[in-house]
């Protein structure tokens, strides 16, 4: 499948990759009826809506289109280097003043992104502006060896393989000491409970990674959230002011980052990848609709 999509993307080009992904999102939504029905129930519960609320299927369909489109763009831009003007026309990045302020402290910066649209494009845009960027990534099962590594490096981005364990942790610390911007994500949880800190995240008990919080505590580097706020007519991302961490326990910091990420998804649920294999595999925690509504209001 990966090789077939790769060949197709080379034919249609980066400019049409998102359209292809949107079509694939439509197909996945309509033919994956079992997953669709389950996700609709879960999204309704998370957002405090009725199970038959017609806005929920529309929201989920948009999420399929947005994130499948983003995936096709990522494959196209990492497979073959795209020119700067093409990428610049597809992405707006606000809040750079917050990043500059944070980096003036001389300890680099951790940008906490989410699986909402083509966040990789924002990262590439930042690197092309002259900011030294590093990215922690996980090797995808469907992609060829070296695909992400080679794709990131052609844009001048340091690629750090998360599967490297302690070696990856050392590389991240070194990147921050060198004054680099390190992109991390924590919004899909971990596969095994023993590898993370259990948190209630979007209605599910999920082992969330403690790595971003631990890294910030050890390096004393500022952490800034980056959130997707729009997918059309172009991707629009916003880097928010740095967070205050390290005032309490590590678990308290993980909880703060989890709550922040959860709030970002609630604000733009149509942009988040609800169908990602990690979060979607965990069961919903049984709770009443009213308690969910109360938690959202709070």
User: What pTM was estimated for this model as a whole?
Assistant: 0.90
Judge whether residue 272 has pLDDT over 80. Answer: yes
User: If you average pLDDT over every residue of the chain, what do you get?
Assistant: 90
pLDDT digits (tens, 9 = 90+) for 197-246: 999 999 999 999 998 999 999 999 999 999 999 999 999 999 999 998 87
Report the Cα–Cα distance between both ends of the chain, in Å, rounded. Answer: 44
Domain membership flag for residue 61: yes
Q: Which has more confidence, 288 or 183?
A: 183
**Mean pLDDT within 74-88:** 93
Assigned token pair, 154: 């052609």
Question: How far apart are alpha carbons 187 and 166 in whole angstroms?
Answer: 21
Spatial strand order in the sheet of 181-185: 91-94, 235-239, 223-230, 109-113, 181-185, 133-137, 158-161
Question: How far apart are alpha carbons 173 and 175 in whole angstroms?
Answer: 5
Sorted by sequence, the CB contacts under 8 Å of residue 20 that are 6+ apart come out as 8, 9, 12, 69, 72
Judge whether residue 26 has pLDDT over 60. Answer: yes
Domain membership flag for residue 297: no
Residue of 275, 296, 292 whose CA lies nearest to 27: 275
Domain total for the chain?
Answer: 1
Domain membership flag for residue 252: yes
Residue 72 phi/psi, 5-degree rounding, is -65, -40
What share of the chain has pLDDT > 70, as a percent?
Answer: 94
Domain membership flag for residue 158: yes
Residue 199 phi/psi, 5-degree rounding, is -140, 150
Domain membership flag for residue 172: yes
Domain membership flag for residue 294: no
289 confidence band (pLDDT: 50, 70, 90): very low
Domain membership flag for residue 290: no
> What beta strand segments (E) does the chain contain?
91-94, 109-113, 133-137, 158-161, 181-185, 197-201, 204-208, 223-230, 235-239
pLDDT at 94: 95
pLDDT digits (tens, 9 = 90+) for 133-149: 999 988 766 667 788 89
Domain membership flag for residue 12: yes
Examine residue 179 and say whether the peptide bond preceding it is cis (omega within 30 degrees of 0).
Answer: no
- Paired sense of beta strands 109-113 and 223-230, if any: parallel
Structural domain boundaries, residue 223: 2-281
């Amino acid at each position: 499948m990966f090789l077939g999509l790769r060949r197709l993307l080379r034919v249609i080009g980066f400019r049409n990759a998102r359209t292809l992904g949107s079509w694939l999102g439509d197909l996945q939504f309509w033919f994956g009826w079992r997953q669709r029905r389950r996700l609709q129930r879960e999204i309704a519960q998370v957002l405090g809506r009725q199970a038959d609320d017609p806005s929920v299927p529309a929201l989920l369909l948009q999420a399929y289109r947005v994130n499948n489109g983003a995936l096709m763009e990522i494959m196209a831009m990492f497979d073959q280097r795209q020119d700067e003007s093409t990428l610049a026309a597809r992405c707006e990045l606000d809040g750079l003043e917050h990043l500059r302020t944070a980096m003036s402290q001389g300890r680099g910066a951790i940008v906490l992104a989410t699986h909402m649209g083509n966040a990789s494009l924002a990262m590439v845009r930042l690197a092309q502006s002259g900011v030294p960027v590093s990215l922690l990534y996980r090797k995808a099962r469907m992609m060829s060896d070296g695909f992400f590594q080679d794709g990131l490096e052609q844009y001048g981005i340091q690629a750090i393989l998360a599967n490297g364990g302690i070696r990856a942790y050392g590389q991240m610390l070194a990147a921050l000491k060198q004054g680099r911007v390190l992109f991390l994500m924590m919004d899909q949880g971990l596969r095994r409970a023993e590898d993370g800190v259990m948190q209630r995240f979007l209605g599910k008990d999920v082992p969330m990674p403690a790595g971003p919080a631990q890294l910030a505590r050890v390096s004393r580097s500022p952490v800034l959230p980056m959130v997707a706020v729009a997918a059309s007519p172009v991707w629009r991302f916003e880097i928010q002011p740095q967070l205050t961490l390290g005032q309490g326990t590590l678990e308290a910091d993980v909880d703060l980052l989890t709550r922040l990420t959860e709030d970002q998804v609630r604000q733009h649920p149509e942009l988040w990848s609800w169908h990602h294999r990690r979060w979607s595999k965990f069961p919903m925690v049984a709770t009443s609709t009213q308690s969910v509504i109360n938690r959202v209001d709070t």
